[in-house]
């Protein structure tokens, strides 16, 4: 079986490659590194993957012709969502249509937790991509990934200077997990027979933490006390702009906090731990190597 993944030079993609290669030769593992096809837009960034025996092919999400060629002979594809929020649905549709044209037998897509009802600003692109996958006639599996622990590295860095976690979240919890946990789940899904897969996996961490829990984790990591500074969305916007964010990015961050407060990142089904076969990494353990 040949398995391709897009965004193989991204942070999640690299971890998926690692997880696939770690499973070589195991009961459900792939037969060799060469049957892992890393589809990348910049081959220079993938030189290390080629050195490890991975097959590297070049195509961007905008180039359907190159993508169809890159996916020739591929049985299963992991489409990792792109980073151009607002533009991605069109890019993903180009990749999906190319996969169909190339005869790919199954597509796995990294969506967002609770995509159907999520109010996160990143959710509409994912909903559009899920809708496209529903009508192509090729079986698909949705990995609706929750937040990464790694999203909070900047919180740790800021707290070192300010001693606070600045947030407009009140009660909303976050069931985050490491990129590595999500990557391992993707590798498991890619190497599981299609007939055994669910259509949708809502993936998130085992623990749904509060802002106070986040402050406690940061306190442990930096070794000095950190408290929660709860502000209104307007105050948060003003502070973020004051420290150098542009207005759109500040609005994006504040919208994420609003969605967090509505519980959009708190969904827990236990599916991530079940897929990877062990508990998800704790927030403090996930951030420790990066703090």
Which residues contact ligand NAP by CB under 6 A?
7, 9-13, 41-42, 45, 60-62, 80-84, 91, 110, 145, 147-148, 151, 179
* Complex with ligand NAP: residue 16 or 221, whichever CB lies closer: 16
Distance CA 201, CA 27 (A): 23
* Complex with ligand NAP: residue 69 or 163, whichever CB lies closer: 69
* Complex with ligand NAP: residue 82 or 218, whichever CB lies closer: 82
Residue 33 Cβ, how far from ligand NAP at the closest point, in Å?
19
Residue 31 Cβ, how far from ligand NAP at the closest point, in Å?
25
* Complex with ligand NAP: residue 128 or 235, whichever CB lies closer: 128
Residue 67 Cβ, how far from ligand NAP at the closest point, in Å?
9
Q: Give the nearest residue (CB) to ligand NAP.
A: 10
Contact 62, 91 (CB under 8 A): yes
Contact 216, 155 (CB under 8 A): no
* Complex with ligand NAP: residue 180 or 284, whichever CB lies closer: 180
Residue 197 Cβ, how far from ligand NAP at the closest point, in Å?
20
CA-wise closest residue to 283 among 149, 174, 160, 104: 149
* Complex with ligand NAP: residue 2 or 60, whichever CB lies closer: 60
Residue 76 Cβ, how far from ligand NAP at the closest point, in Å?
18
Residue 85 Cβ, how far from ligand NAP at the closest point, in Å?
8
């Amino acid at each position: 079986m040949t398995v391709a993944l897009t965004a193989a030079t991204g942070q999640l993609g690299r971890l998926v490659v690692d997880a696939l290669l770690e499973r070589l030769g195991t009961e459900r593992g792939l037969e060799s590194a060469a049957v892992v096809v890393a589809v990348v837009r910049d081959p220079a960034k993938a030189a290390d993957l080629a050195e490890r025996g991975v097959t590297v092919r070049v195509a961007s999400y905008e180039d359907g012709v190159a993508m169809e060629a890159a996916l020739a002979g591929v049985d299963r594809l992991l489409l990792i969502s792109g980073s151009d929020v607002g533009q991605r649905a069109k890019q993903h549709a180009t990749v999906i249509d190319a996969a169909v044209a190339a005869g790919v037998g199954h597509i796995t897509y990294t969506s967002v937790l609770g995509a159907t009802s999520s109010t996160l600003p990143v959710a509409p692109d994912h909903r559009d991509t899920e809708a496209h996958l529903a009508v192509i006639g090729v079986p698909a599996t949705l990995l609706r990934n929750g937040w990464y622990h790694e999203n909070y590295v900047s919180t740790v860095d800021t707290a070192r200077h300010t001693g606070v976690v600045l947030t407009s979240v009140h009660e909303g919890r976050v069931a985050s997990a490491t990129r590595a946990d999500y990557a391992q789940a993707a590798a498991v899904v890619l190497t599981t027979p299609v007939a055994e897969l669910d259509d949708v996996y809502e993936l998130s961490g085992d623990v749904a933490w509060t802002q106070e829990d986040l402050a406690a984790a940061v306190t442990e990591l930096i070794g000095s006390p950190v408290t929660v500074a709860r502000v209104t969305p307007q105050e948060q916007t003003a502070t973020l702009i004051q420290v150098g964010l542009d207005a759109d990015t500040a609005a994006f961050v504040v919208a994420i906090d609003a969605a967090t407060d509505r519980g959009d990142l708190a969904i827990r089904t236990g599916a991530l731990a079940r897929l990877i076969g062990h508990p998800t990494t704790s927030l403090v353990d996930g951030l420790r190597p990066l703090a």
